[in-house]
């Protein structure tokens, strides 16, 4: 069974919450909100323009956005606070988080993880985007966090590992039965490759910042089986 989506784009107190802790991935979120008809095509087309709510990081004024993120390491704290509130609610909601692996460099991430386990925040699901790189290098070189999944399990989290490019596997992990989770918060380790599907970009650190030329843009779309929009 797919996870519920209650009141997405509303301010219903019982709505499920989503926290994009890696706020710089907001473009993907905007695309999802458009596909779900939370925002329309006209608003979606204003991305990056003056006075648009669709900036490079999410804005809580936008329907479907509960928390402004982008200061890395803060998103999980927001989510744990919401999960603790859900525990106190008579109608608990679910909280889903997308966390970058570079946020494991932040001490506040570990503090939040400990608190979530201690308070048995069973409505909290964290998807860790484990692509092995960050702005200035590969995580194994900047700060080796390969032991993180085992550390989360030792703290009291249920830990699943999936191919982050496999939508069915992700859906199955997000939809685990409560009996399996046994009252624990859930960490889904999603193993991914930055730039997946585009040979000149895949697993290359420089593409964290580099702009594409028009020729590279056309080439990338071709590899992904797309054509440039008019």
Would residue 76 count as lying in a domain? yes
Eight-state DSSP code of residue 92 = P
List helix spans (H) across the chain: 26-35, 41-44, 75-88, 107-118, 139-142, 148-155, 167-174, 178-181, 214-223
Query: N- to C-terminal Cα distance for the chain?
Result: 38
Q: How many domains does the chain have?
A: 1
Would residue 143 count as lying in a domain? yes
80 phi and psi, to 5 degrees?
-65, -40
Q: Determine the structural domain holding residue 84 and report its residue range.
A: 17-22+69-195+208-223
**For residue range 179-220, what is the model confidence (pLDDT) as tens digits?**
999 999 999 999 999 999 999 999 998 888 888 999 999 999
- Shortest CA distance to 157 belongs to which of 133, 181, 140, 127? 181
Would residue 217 count as lying in a domain? yes
Identify the pLDDT of residue 190.
Answer: 97
Eight-state DSSP code of residue 90 = S
Contact (CB, 8 A) for 169 and 163: yes
Helix (H) or strand (E) segment spanning residue 209: none
Would residue 53 count as lying in a domain? no
Would residue 57 count as lying in a domain? no
**For residue range 221-230, what is the model confidence (pLDDT) as tens digits?**
999 987 766 5
Would residue 180 count as lying in a domain? yes
25 phi and psi, to 5 degrees?
-95, 25
Eight-state DSSP code of residue 203 = T
Q: Encoding tokens for residue 45?
A: 């087309």
Identify the pLDDT of residue 5.
Answer: 55
Identify the pLDDT of residue 225.
Answer: 87
Name residues whose C-beta falls within 8 Å of residue 22's C-beta, 6 or more positions apart in sequence: 69, 72, 75, 98, 99, 100, 103, 129
pLDDT < 70 positions in the chain: 1-9, 228-230
Would residue 213 count as lying in a domain? yes
Would residue 165 count as lying in a domain? yes
- What is the CATH classification number for the domain harbouring 156? 3.40.50.970
């Amino acid at each position: 069974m797919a996870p519920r989506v209650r009141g997405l784009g509303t301010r219903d107190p019982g709505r499920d919450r989503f926290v994009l802790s890696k706020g710089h991935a907001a473009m993907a979120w905007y695309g999802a909100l458009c596909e779900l008809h939370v925002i329309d095509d006209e608003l979606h087309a204003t991305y990056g323009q003056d006075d648009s709510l669709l900036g490079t990081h999410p804005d809580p004024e936008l329907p479907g956005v509960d928390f402004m993120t982008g200061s890395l390491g803060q998103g999980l704290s927001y989510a744990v606070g919401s999960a603790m509130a859900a525990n106190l609610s008579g109608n608990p909601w679910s909280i889903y988080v997308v966390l970058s692996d570079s946020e494991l460099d932040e001490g506040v991430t570990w503090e939040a993880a400990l608190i979530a386990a201690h308070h048995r925040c069973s409505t909290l699901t964290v998807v860790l985007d484990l692509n092995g790189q960050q702005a200035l290098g590969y995580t194994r070189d900047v700060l080796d966090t390969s032991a993180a999944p085992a550390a989360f399990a030792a703290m009291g989290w249920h830990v699943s590992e999936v191919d982050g490019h496999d939508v069915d596997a992700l859906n199955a992990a997000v939809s685990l039965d409560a009996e399996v989770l046994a009252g624990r918060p859930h960490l889904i380790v999603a193993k991914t490759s930055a730039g997946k599907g585009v040979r000149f970009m895949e697993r290359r650190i420089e593409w964290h910042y580099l702009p594409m030329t028009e020729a590279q843009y056309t080439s990338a779309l071709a590899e992904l089986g797309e054509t440039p929009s008019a």
